[in-house]
Structure 1
Amino acid sequence: MSLFDPTDFMIPPGLVHVCAAGETPVLHAQAMALSRHALDKSTGPAGRAKLDAEVERLRARLAREWSVPVEGIGLVSSVAEGMSMLVESLDWRPGDNVLIDRNEYASVVAPLSVKGVELRFVTMADPDAVAAAADARTRMVAVSAVSYLDARRHDLVALRAAADGVGAMLVVDFTQGSGWMPIEASIADFAFSACYKWMLGITGTAIAYWNQARQRSWAPATAGWYSIVTGPRPDYAAPLALRPDAGRFTRGNPAHAPCYALHAAMDHHERFDRAAVQAHVQALTVALLARLDAAGIPSITPPDPRQHGASVCIAHERASRVVEGMAARGVLAWNGRGRIRISFHGYNDLSQIDPIMAALTAALSD
């Protein structure tokens, strides 16, 4: 049986929803949360105080979720924005380099590439190779905790050691893990995560974590009214002080509506131990991988659940058409980057493996 009650979600009747790595379904409770946001927004100064209070309450909840101090949690619009702010803040010099996997997601790679930073491509699944590629000019090891491409989980402890060996930062994108597996974000110098996948939020807000113990003097290169310390009227003739915490990641108004929606998601999440969610989704990935193997359908996802996340990925030149064929048969998977991705969350259960396999094999034959 499923861990979550599927009727809590706006999943259309008769559909098997297995595309959490792309978009999760919306909770009915989130519609009510967004209505509450609309009411608070409509009630003048008192309502605005409620909006801001919800942001601070969310930061505290996210800090508990990631096992870090609340001072380290900030909010950005997306992982791409947070990573861009970090990259733009650093004093890059000729010869500096970043170690990154060739298959890393664009939100992590693009800010570095556009900035002109030297990228050294190395397989993050091989921490020894990462350590061998690092040198005195390596400024950063950047990695997703779980790969979006093949659902491989990376050994963050070993990558932390490789970064520490040359005094480099470890920057982690937790997007493909946060919401189904326990997160210990303090292993990173900086970490980010989108909130609209397994965290069950909506687009518009993302988590930005600043490890102040490791990077005490960090400051963004730009600021806005929200990220500075001001009185009733700023004295622009004097130096402006940044907020002392990770609130400095948010330059302008926080995205209040997505914060309200994420609170509703966390109300749901906090009913379930994260280790129990991980055990549930990985029981499903293991079951599907076994069925694929029996059917002779190769997967690019490592079979060992200690090495993979909550998705199963199948490389295929007709991935888009196959996913469309699966949807026509009532199974919502995801495509892109030349692979079919089937992703599980707490609202899925083992009884769905049969319809997934039936839809997949039929669509592969189309």
Structure 2
Amino acid sequence: MNTASAAQSPADSRSAAQPAPLPIAELGFSAPPGYLSACTAGLPTAATAAAMRGFIDDWAAGRADARALGGQAERCREHYARLAGVAVDRVALGSQASQLVSVVASSVPDGAEVLCAAGDFASLAHPLEQLAHRGVRVRYAPVSRLAEELRTDTALVAFSLVQSATGEVADAEAIRAAAEQVGARTLVDLTQSLGWLPVGADPFDFTVCHAYKWLCAPRGTAFLTVRAGLDEQLVPLAAGWYSADDVWSSCYTDHMPLAAGAGRFDVSPAWPALGGTEAALGALAALDPRAVHAHDLELANAAREVLDLPAGDSAIVTWADPDGTALAALTAGGITASGRAGNARIAFHLWNTADDVELLARALGR
């Protein structure tokens, strides 16, 4: 996918000048060389780590303030809206991607077809598979062929913008255009892309994202975006006290108005994760996304050169490792990596430097 032509978030809408330098040292990442696993879990900035510790201290001392925590939740929503390039009222707060996908699944008509990417992450596809009792059929095709595979009876096409197992970047614009032609909605998982790839949520009908990978937030905060005009097509399956515009006036059953916007799909946030998420998203939203993209891709392609792989367009690098030999060598060489679907998998993000590429080469005897 040519990311330069893709729709971008407001954080991208700077001048066409060179990207702003990345203040990486100021973010205070503390990992030593060799952590090549942003695709598994991002690392906390110093501010995120301090916020997490602060919550524990406040909780232990009886100082946890529910209203102040609610303010943190709303600032998380605001930061995420900026990162995703959508209005704040288009963002819902959740805790897991699959829970948010289940809300989108409620919009699929009985007997319709859902088209998914073969080999995509289970949290995106499994909630859609559970619609079989309504006659909904889930069909799979390679992500590279989703645009060609859309049919007139396809109600929803669901795919990760960047594939977890391979790092492949979907041609989102081609899929979106094909979906529009046949009248299908788009559901895109941004978990493996938002934070390094400068493509936001605005081009799509629905997106989900768990923030604990490339957005460097603690696990337990996820987001749903819903295009304006589509709220009424979804069922707020987990509506509760936090699903209103004024949460403190909707705690009890005699007064439970749903929020006017996508906030109606909120679930009560995980309080321990909020401070760290606010710090993480605030820091990421302040960066020039073009500079992040350039930084991550330069290192990933340097790693591809070490591995005798062609240059690519993804910050995730994978290669065949069916018996785990390469992953074992990486681990022995002091590198944190992962193995997925018969591949060895590494990834490069803000804390990584050329030293990590050199460590990779030594670990693999290159």
TM-score exceeds 0.5: yes
Report if aligned partners of 1:2, 1:349 keep a CA contact under 8 Å in 2: no
For structure 1, the residue ranges without an aligned partner over 5 or more in a row are 294-298
Partner of 1:323: 327
Does residue 115 of structure 2 align to residue 99 of structure 1?
yes
In structure 2, distance between residues paired with 1:193 and 1:270: 15
In structure 2, distance between residues paired with 1:144 and 1:60: 23
With 42-51 and 152-161 compared, the bigger mean Cα shift is at 42-51
Deviation at 1:161, TM superposition (A): 1.1
Partner amino acid, structure 2, of 1:208: L
Deviation at 1:361, TM superposition (A): 4.1
Does residue 338 of structure 2 align to residue 338 of structure 1?
no
The 1:28–1:234 alpha-carbon spacing in structure 2 relative to 1, beyond 3 Å, is closer
The 1:260–1:218 alpha-carbon spacing in structure 2 relative to 1, beyond 3 Å, is same
Does residue 15 of structure 2 align to residue 10 of structure 1?
no
Deviation at 1:46, TM superposition (A): 8.4
Does residue 341 of structure 2 align to residue 347 of structure 1?
no
Partner of 1:312: 317
In structure 1, distance between residues paired with 2:187 and 2:117: 13
Q: 1:123-167: per-residue Cα shift (whole Å, max 9, x none)?
A: 22135423xx412x2110001111111111112111111111121
Partner of 2:98: 80
Spell out the pairing of 1:242-281 with structure 2 (5 A cutoff): 242-251=258-267, 253-281=268-296
In structure 1, distance between residues paired with 2:212 and 2:28: 16
Q: TM-score, normalised by structure 2?
A: 0.85
Deviation at 1:60, TM superposition (A): 0.9
Report if aligned partners of 2:76, 2:281 keep a CA contact under 8 Å in 1: no
Partner of 2:16: none
Deviation at 1:30, TM superposition (A): 1.9
With 142-151 and 328-337 compared, the bigger mean Cα shift is at 328-337
Partner of 2:137: 118
**Local SS of the residue matching 2:156:** strand
Partner amino acid, structure 1, of 2:30: M
For structure 2, the residue ranges without an aligned partner over 5 or more in a row are 1-20
Partner of 1:54: 72
In structure 2, distance between residues paired with 1:2 and 1:341: 25
The 1:46–1:33 alpha-carbon spacing in structure 2 relative to 1, beyond 3 Å, is closer
Q: Select the residue among 143, 146, 170 that pairs with 1:154.
A: 170
Partner of 1:34: 52
Report if aligned partners of 1:3, 1:277 keep a CA contact under 8 Å in 2: no
Partner amino acid, structure 2, of 1:171: L
Report if aligned partners of 1:86, 1:220 keep a CA contact under 8 Å in 2: no
Deviation at 1:328, TM superposition (A): 2.0
Deviation at 1:249, TM superposition (A): 2.0
Does residue 306 of structure 2 align to residue 291 of structure 1?
yes
Number of equivalent positions = 341
In percent, how many aligned pairs have the same letter? 29
In structure 1, distance between residues paired with 2:341 and 2:204: 28
The 1:174–1:46 alpha-carbon spacing in structure 2 relative to 1, beyond 3 Å, is closer
The 1:247–1:41 alpha-carbon spacing in structure 2 relative to 1, beyond 3 Å, is farther
**Local SS of the residue matching 1:281:** helix
In structure 2, distance between residues paired with 1:93 and 1:232: 32
Q: 1:72-95: per-residue Cα shift (whole Å, max 9, x none)?
A: 1111111111112221x235312x
Partner of 2:37: 19
Q: 1:298-318: per-residue Cα shift (whole Å, max 9, x none)?
A: x5xxx454xx32111012112
Report if aligned partners of 1:284, 1:344 keep a CA contact under 8 Å in 2: yes
The 1:147–1:24 alpha-carbon spacing in structure 2 relative to 1, beyond 3 Å, is same
Does residue 190 of structure 2 align to residue 171 of structure 1?
no
**Local SS of the residue matching 1:335:** strand
Report if aligned partners of 1:72, 1:209 keep a CA contact under 8 Å in 2: yes
In structure 2, distance between residues paired with 1:232 and 1:185: 29
